[in-house]
Structure 1
Amino acid sequence: MEKMPLFQHVFFLDLVLLLSTATTGTFSSSVGLVNVAHLQMFVDELPDMPKVRGFRVRNGTVEPAHLAIGIYRPGPHHRGPTRSPNSHYVVQLPPIPSHPPVGPHHPGGQPILPRRRNPDRRPPPRRYPTPSSDGHGGAWFTSNLSSVGPTFASSTNAHPNVQDPGTLWYHDHALGLTRVNILAGLFGAYLIRSPSLESPLGLPSASFERVLFLFDRSFRSEGSLFINSTGNNPSIHPQWQPEFFGPAIVVNGKVWPFLRVRRRPYRFRIINASNARFFRLSFSNSLRFNHIASDTVYLPTAVPSRRFLLAPSEIADVVVDFARSTTDSALLLNDAAYPYPTGDSPDAFSSRVMKFVILRSKSGKRDPSWMPRKLLPPPPPPVTEKAMAERYIAMYEYESATGEPTHLYLNGRSFEEAATETPRSGTGELWHIINLTEDNHPLHIHLGLFVVMEQRKLMGLEQLKDCMMRINDAQACHVEDHAAHGRVEPVPGHESGWKNVFKMQPGFVTRIFVRFAMLRTEEPYPFDATAEPGYVYHCHILDHEDNAMMRPLKLLA
């Protein structure tokens, strides 16, 4: 097979920005919430979010851009009673005058150097960043940098963009406040493009390619966002709730929008930006999704599905061919329980996401439909024999005397305790994720990408839990014996590639191979990944991450 030198191509990068409301009175506990039954569905058109290029062309040469983040006013979430005179924010990154490049540069990609103009918190990207630009939980800062966190380094960050083309997103990561700041709208999409690799695929582009941010929200009657300010254990944590769920489903900043589409293929980059809500998506007319990527990395061939599950922070890159529709409209539906998997079923409101109005061709002819037989060649597969280390990561949930959740830990340790996961740059590791809780936890590992090797049900779970709560040692508690005769759950085909988030099922041990190296060359990163303050890994249910299901990740040379 002819080799594809991905890192010898220039990556074109777009920043897709979310118009989203921020909070005036986010923590208010006053009454007067919007009854979503009074909101008419499918009356607002899906916004096409503004885009900013992260590169410029000078004398025919592509150069990195310098971008600044500011806060601006978008429109309302809904044309109905959520309209409000309160402040609404949008994260934007307009180009600013150039200055000499800062940070690492690699022939495979164009670095981007975002600077921040008076934001309240740091919204870090998730794409092979240097440690100081990764948005460490302690790297927070306030307006005009009047106060900064203990790991804050600079208001200018560098991102080399030396990985495969694909879909990513960036968001606030302030320790203990991530759930609130993302709910307020501090996030956006980050697309890395390689025209020389992607153009020959003939995938839908331009107006036939859309980013869809899915999330749930609750509104006060005058239009501002609402989150309950009283914790479920107020004597322990005055504000923390185990999960936030809003009754209204929002896409790209609009509640239950609609989109007019032609009878032809469209590409949708679907990102779950909810605090805790899972979406299990399907079409009301049984249209098919064709998955072309697993999170951020292209699959070798498209994988079809009629329904799929998307956890918080997961990304589905799909092509939908509306030429195959037998109806003139289709609803995008959700039937995932909340909390997932054992919570309530969605009601008549949270079970609907958005509507597609499928136009008929004036000539009576359909636009041509085409899907490439092959996408991009896969990266080198994981080889467990090459794993330089084998680790056991246990997920714990702790309760009060009344049975209410108080906090969650990884490996029984707080975020502030010293790093125990210390992989070497340029190597791979085998991780066994042991979920001892009743929730499904989407695990996200910063910097490293991984492949899910196996999901196996744990037998004698209560006995294992008792042992683990006492001594916190998976091998001494014989976790392998508990997994030996457990049922193996197949990994869905569209999630069989390289991922940075995966759903850890309750009562299962999930084995993953993590590559802490350049994905295709398996070489160390072209920057110092061992520098301070290091990276993190965590559950991406934001309410869990904030209290405190997150651990430091420190790479070694």
Structure 2
Amino acid sequence: MYLPNDASKARLREAEIASRNFAELATALSKGEVTRRDFIKWGLATSSGLLVPVHGLTPFSSSAYAAVFDIPTGLPPSPLFGVQPFTQPMPRFDVLPRKTFTFGAGVMDPIPAFPGAPGPDPTEQANVTQQPVPAVLGGGTGPIEGRPPGPIWAHQQWAGFPPRMAVEVTQEGAKPNTVYNPGVPSSLNSGIDASRPFRPAFHPDLPDQGPLALWTFNGTLPPKLLIGRYHESILFRHHNRLPDDPTRNGGFGIHTISTHEHNGHHGAENDGFTGAYFFPRQYYDYHYPICHGGYNTINLDAAEPRCGTPTDAGGIENVQGDFHETMSTHWFHDHMFSFTAQNVYKGNAGMFNIYSSLDRGNEEMDDGVNLRLPSGSAKSYGNLDYDVNLMLADKAWDADGQLAMDIFDFDGFLGDVMTVNLVYKPFFEVERRKYRFRILNAAVARFFKLALSDASPMVQIANDGNLLPNPVVLNTLDELGIAERYDIVIDFSRYSIGSKVWMVNLAEHENGRRPKEDLSLREALSGSSNDPCVGRFLEFRIVRDPARPDVSQVPEQLIVNPDLTTIPVAAQRTFEFGRGAKQNSTDPITSFLGPWGIKVDGATMLAADFGRVSAAPRFGTREVWTLRNGGGGWDHPIHIHFEEGQILARDGKASNVPAWERGRKDVYRLHPGGSVTLTMQFRDFGGMFMEHCHNTTHEDNAMLLRWEIDDAGGAFLRPLPTPIPTPQGVKFVPPDEILPTAFR
């Protein structure tokens, strides 16, 4: 399975040769000398060797060590250069600066537009002001904003939710961070001195990542944290400062990006649609209204304080909508068509904490509405003292310590090194009190199953972006699928000062299709697993008593689900996820033929084509969708964009839905051969959205479909035209295909 460090020299040498051959194929792919369709046509598999002539790439299998290609990383073991686990502090996320929005006041000045002038104020429709396009991208001129132009892709509800805060970021290669803001003092960040430059390295004793190996928000570590509160609309300007030349990618990743705010309740123009990507030297203005679902149909008099946003003065500003739809923990990441896995793995991922009158982020404020979850109290909202974001991801690097990836494993890439907040197996200092941890699985294909090393209890309070109806006490969490978020509370008051406890991964993988098995805690701690990402990966050091009494709470009731039983079911749809997909379109831009696909309502299993309309629920309706796993050899975490759903049944039975899945969700685990039936509404906004497996290798190869709400009024057409981005501008074309059952 994983190649051990003590493997024979011949086997290690063969693995190095294999990885170099893979790198040459990746370079040829980025230059356009071959296409991913060629790899499928050739029948490349992870058990085959590859020979790469300069021209006319051809596969062959003659290696005495052909099994080297069964290594999940596709690489020799990642060298650790003598680094030991738990010898560096875990950094808190880097809080993105926010600026109060004022049109015409140079609000977008903090990060100037390429190549150096202050950026223009945002506009409802895309800014099509022209700029020169470099020769490597075709020359001529093109728009400064990569958002598709015109009224169809204008910001919905722009007048109703005018931007109140501006956040500006770049996407660029790795560099030191000289403006790190953890949002807490050093004493609450394990002693890290934020005034010192933070190197782009997975450990102080590991090499710095080069600017072609790691592409992050602002080009720096730690990962970024966006702070928002309800009805404080954010204008999120994302500059693409990646290399003009697509071959300058360090062996994987592509320089076009599309930012998905997972699972934001806003129009599709701000969703990061997989086909709405933008190019180097362009920016894209995303508009996040941060509103409750049903804001234009429920609680219109804003009389319900539980549907509110925290004010700076400590009060509540009541707003319209359904407080049952309150969200808390989101994340944002790249969604480039057929390159999501590579770009997210390369560093395009951050987290987003959303604060409300219910989930305020101030544990001392007792106003009868605030849940008083662990957080802190210095600010009226959004305290991070005891509210900690954790991004879990497995990585791999080459002999030089540079991030590396096997892009030819279509089952799912696995790394052999565990990271938390993009550093290798750190420690985190805690006080003897309760902490809230917002845990994100940001891996490509790896599932995690978490426990504490002493088997002591944790309290799960949220699943995905939504607080549960009731907290659930668990000694072992359920498997955490890719893109799922589990918010948990750990009470460290049960430990003495000077003691340690570890977070442990119990889920063992041998390939990217699904976990092989979940080990017992004893087995995971024994070190006997062949999977190097099993076992301890985060050390908690209990260092002191808190300076203030811990008054935080975990109430017996958190946020009850909205009652949808009185809303008629307008349609029922079935989506089956499996292998052996066909492709009806040959469009090289919108479609991709891969081994994975989706079958809609019992028709043909089809590969991804963002020009195809697979479902078009009507605006203002409710539907019931059944998601089915078409095979027993794989596990699919399915993500439906835009709307949260409620799981009605697992494998046809409501009794199979565990307590930690009884809140609203946006990622639905499909166990091998299993199914999930859910219900959701389609309100407030419209446009084209996606549904896909969030094993991002499966998504890219090609388990993804487009669905749309195209009768939401305004400029919408039925069906919507497909955007085709180029550096010289975006054009629109009719859909490649419309499935017969799409419009009901």
Counterpart of 1:225 in structure 2 is 403
Distance 1:201 1:32 in 2: 49
Q: Which amino acid aligns with 1:381?
A: D
Match of 2:642 among 435, 442, 447: 447
Identify if the C-alpha distance between structure 1 residues 434 and 348 changes in structure 2 by more than 3 Å, giving closer, same or farther.
closer
Q: Is the 8 A contact 1:83 1:222 kept in 2?
A: no
Q: Which amino acid aligns with 1:174?
A: M
Q: Is the 8 A contact 2:240 2:278 kept in 1?
A: no
Distance 1:31 1:545 in 2: 22
Q: Is the 8 A contact 2:641 2:690 kept in 1?
A: yes
Match of 2:92 among 35, 48, 73: 48
Distance 1:27 1:124 in 2: 29
Q: Is the 8 A contact 2:432 2:545 kept in 1?
A: no
Deviating more after overlay: 272-281 vs 159-168 = 159-168
Distance 1:244 1:329 in 2: 32
> Do structure 1's residue 323 and structure 2's residue 449 form an aligned pair?
no
Structure 1 gap ranges (5+): 1-24, 95-106, 146-153, 232-239, 457-482, 517-523
> Do structure 1's residue 352 and structure 2's residue 546 form an aligned pair?
no
> Do structure 1's residue 117 and structure 2's residue 253 form an aligned pair?
no
Bigger RCO of structures 1 and 2 (CA < 8 A, at least 6 apart): 1
Distance 1:31 1:513 in 2: 42
> Do structure 1's residue 311 and structure 2's residue 433 form an aligned pair?
no
> Do structure 1's residue 90 and structure 2's residue 283 form an aligned pair?
no
Match of 1:79 among 187, 204, 216: 204
Deviation at 1:548, TM superposition (A): 0.8
Identify if the C-alpha distance between structure 1 residues 350 and 380 changes in structure 2 by more than 3 Å, giving closer, same or farther.
same
Deviation at 1:185, TM superposition (A): 0.3
Deviation at 1:371, TM superposition (A): 2.4
Distance 1:288 1:53 in 2: 36
Deviation at 1:38, TM superposition (A): 4.9
Q: Which amino acid aligns with 1:328?
A: S
Deviation at 1:84, TM superposition (A): 4.9
Match of 2:438 among 269, 288, 301: 269
CA deviations over 1:291-317 (Å, ceiling 9, x no partner) = 222211122332111111100000001
CA RMSD of aligned residues (A): 3.2
Deviation at 1:180, TM superposition (A): 0.5
Q: Is the 8 A contact 2:163 2:289 kept in 1?
A: no
CA deviations over 1:44-70 (Å, ceiling 9, x no partner) = 110111102556389xx9933242334
Distance 2:349 2:660 in 1: 25
Secondary structure of 1:429's partner?
Answer: strand
TM-score norm. by structure 1 comes to 0.74
Deviation at 1:505, TM superposition (A): 1.2
CA deviations over 1:352-406 (Å, ceiling 9, x no partner) = 353333325469x995464232454424234287221111111121299xxxx95
- Residues 119-518 of structure 1: pairs in structure 2 closer than 5 A: 119=241, 120=255, 121-126=257-262, 127-145=264-282, 155-163=284-292, 164-195=326-357, 198=360, 199=362, 200-205=370-375, 206-229=384-407, 231=408, 240-308=409-477, 309-325=479-495, 328-338=499-509, 339=512, 341=514, 343=516, 347=530, 349-361=532-544, 368=550, 370-383=552-565, 386-398=568-580, 407-411=595-599, 412-416=605-609, 418-437=612-631, 438-456=633-651, 490-516=656-682
Q: Percent identity?
A: 24
Secondary structure of 2:606's partner?
Answer: coil
Distance 2:543 2:438 in 1: 24
Q: Is the 8 A contact 2:469 2:662 kept in 1?
A: no
- Residues 55-66 of structure 1: pairs in structure 2 closer than 5 A: 56=100, 63-66=164-167
Deviation at 1:89, TM superposition (A): 3.9
Identify if the C-alpha distance between structure 1 residues 328 and 140 changes in structure 2 by more than 3 Å, giving closer, same or farther.
same
Distance 2:469 2:636 in 1: 27
Identify if the C-alpha distance between structure 1 residues 300 and 489 changes in structure 2 by more than 3 Å, giving closer, same or farther.
closer
CA deviations over 1:429-485 (Å, ceiling 9, x no partner) = 1111121122111010000111111112xxxxxxxxxxxxxxxxxxxxxxxxxx6xx
Identify if the C-alpha distance between structure 1 residues 386 and 241 changes in structure 2 by more than 3 Å, giving closer, same or farther.
same
Counterpart of 2:180 in structure 1 is none
Q: Is the 8 A contact 2:430 2:543 kept in 1?
A: no
Q: Which amino acid aligns with 1:387?
A: V
Distance 1:432 1:514 in 2: 11
TM-score norm. by structure 2 comes to 0.57
Deviation at 1:262, TM superposition (A): 0.9
Match of 1:541 among 687, 695, 720: 695
Distance 2:670 2:657 in 1: 11
Q: How many residues align?
A: 456
Deviation at 1:220, TM superposition (A): 1.0
Larger Rg, first or second structure (1 or 2): 2
CA deviations over 1:258-284 (Å, ceiling 9, x no partner) = 101111101110000000000000000
Deviating more after overlay: 157-166 vs 113-122 = 113-122
CA deviations over 1:20-78 (Å, ceiling 9, x no partner) = xxxxx9963797652459541111110111102556389xx993324233435252002
Deviating more after overlay: 384-393 vs 447-456 = 384-393
Identify if the C-alpha distance between structure 1 residues 53 and 297 changes in structure 2 by more than 3 Å, giving closer, same or farther.
farther
Q: Is the 8 A contact 2:216 2:346 kept in 1?
A: no
Identify if the C-alpha distance between structure 1 residues 197 and 360 changes in structure 2 by more than 3 Å, giving closer, same or farther.
closer
Secondary structure of 1:544's partner?
Answer: helix
